[in-house]
Amino acid sequence: MKKDNLKKENLNTLKKPNRFVFWLFKTASRFAAKFLYNCKIGKNELKGSKGRRVLIVNHESAIDFIFVGAALRESAHMVISSSFYQSVPSMYPLLKRCGVIPKNQFQTSLTDMRLMKQAVESERPLVLYPAGLMTESGEATLVPHATGKTLKWLDADIYLAKISGSYLTKPKWSAVKRKGQITIDITKFMDREQVKAISNEEMQTAVTNALYFDAYKNNEINRVEYKNGDNVEGLEHVLFRCPKCGKEYGLKVSGDNALICDACGLTLTADKYGLFNVTGSNNPDFKYASIMYNKIIEDYAEEIKNDQNFKLDLDAEVHMINDKKHKYVPVGSAKVTLDKENLILDGKIDDKPFYKKIFSGSYPMLPFVPGKRFEIQDGSTIYRIVPKDGRCVTKWITAFKTLFNIHKDAIAH
């Protein structure tokens, strides 16, 4: 069975960023930010700062690291996903030299905590994306509940990087090139004394509020046009149900700028701002994809809660990271089953029988790409699940989130 490479690297001590490699990263980031993505750097209160510092960043898109890199004026330690760290062969040698801290998303080990603490104590900035995952809907994803406690434990000045426009430039669901306007502002959020003076719960609330965004609502105000901003191809994999009638996989792309439900006829037409016009009378106000997504997941979550016999299953390829190639490769196949108690993988990996049972309330969220795949992170091992029918991916992700909340509420009561 292919194992990930983290244990083999034995990352028990923090690696100091290589100054030349980090300079290359910053230089390339500034070039890409300015000329490829039309990014403007506004306030930068991190510049010239000293001491113990943590930079928290909102997460709109997969390219957000470019704009953070463009704004940095010194070497820093970035916390990145283990999956990305190990599976991009062209970047792996550079990442190893940049002092990054790879960790599994939504899982924090004692080693992770120790490395982050070492980064802060080195008095180089520690860069965190508290939400963990970029948004699929345009609205900020939830900040894990232990974030406030962790930030207090790090005992540092906290800075906030707020990125705007990267979601509409590169939505998680789209393969189409877009260009509009991106901005990043870095401000001082709290100093160490303020951090010490508030409770874990107060810190959690403050961070959640500071990182919140709705890309569609913001652009309704900013009115930035995006090249191909009206292209909706791929959004049907996020909106896995019709938000009006509930038909599963009912929304179909028409042309490249409209979604039409094949059951109720709901017609959603996008404009260059990424906003929607709804054709017909007696239709809800679905001008944001985030509004539609929230309604879909709320309706489906309610169904799951009320269904005592809830169960999903799918057939999928299983991919794992090849240590030598530093990329995901197919290693087998499995039937994946999810119910209110367990997630089960049952199949073959490396031509050997494989069976894995995991508590269904283990994950607040899973890394995923709408319409393509999701990842199950079991300790230091990552299983990439590639369903035969990729349309179901966001449905499964919604089920994972719902089951986590069901189990969390059961424990709380």
pLDDT digits (tens, 9 = 90+) for 343-359: 999 999 999 999 999 99
Q: Which residue has the tokens 């965004």?
A: 213
Q: Which residue has the tokens 């909102």?
A: 58
Mean pLDDT score, 78-92:
77
Q: Which residue has the higher pLDDT, 262 or 411?
A: 262
Helix (H, G, I), strand (E, B) or coil at 45: coil
Q: What is the pLDDT of residues 289-301, one digit of tens each?
A: 999 999 999 999 9
Instruction: Indicate the pLDDT class of residue 64, thresholds 50, 70 and 90.
Output: very high
Mean pLDDT score, 116-128:
96
Per the prediction, the chain carries an average pLDDT of 91
Helix (H, G, I), strand (E, B) or coil at 137: coil
Mean pLDDT score, 266-288:
86
In the predicted model, is pLDDT for residue 90 greater than 60? Answer: yes
Instruction: Indicate the pLDDT class of residue 329, thresholds 50, 70 and 90.
Output: very high
What is the predicted pLDDT for the residue at 121?
96
> Domains in the chain, ordered, with CATH?
7-222 (3.40.1130.10), 235-305 (no CATH), 308-412 (2.30.29.30)
Using an 8 Å Cβ cutoff, are 168 and 135 in contact? no
What is the predicted pLDDT for the residue at 413?
61
Sheet holding 251-254, edge to edge: 251-254, 258-261, 267-270, 276-279
Name the percent of the chain in helix, strand, coil, to the closest 5.
35, 30, 40
Q: What is the pLDDT of residues 381-402, one digit of tens each?
A: 899 999 999 999 999 999 999 9
Euclidean distance between CA atoms 12 and 395, whole angstroms: 37
What is the predicted pLDDT for the residue at 106?
67
Q: 155: number of CA atoms within 13 Å, CB side?
A: 6
Instruction: Indicate the pLDDT class of residue 3, thresholds 50, 70 and 90.
Output: very low
pTM: 0.91
What is the predicted pLDDT for the residue at 84?
76
The CA distances from residue 53 to 93, 119, 154, 189, 274, in Å, are: 26, 9, 9, 11, 36
What is the predicted pLDDT for the residue at 6?
43
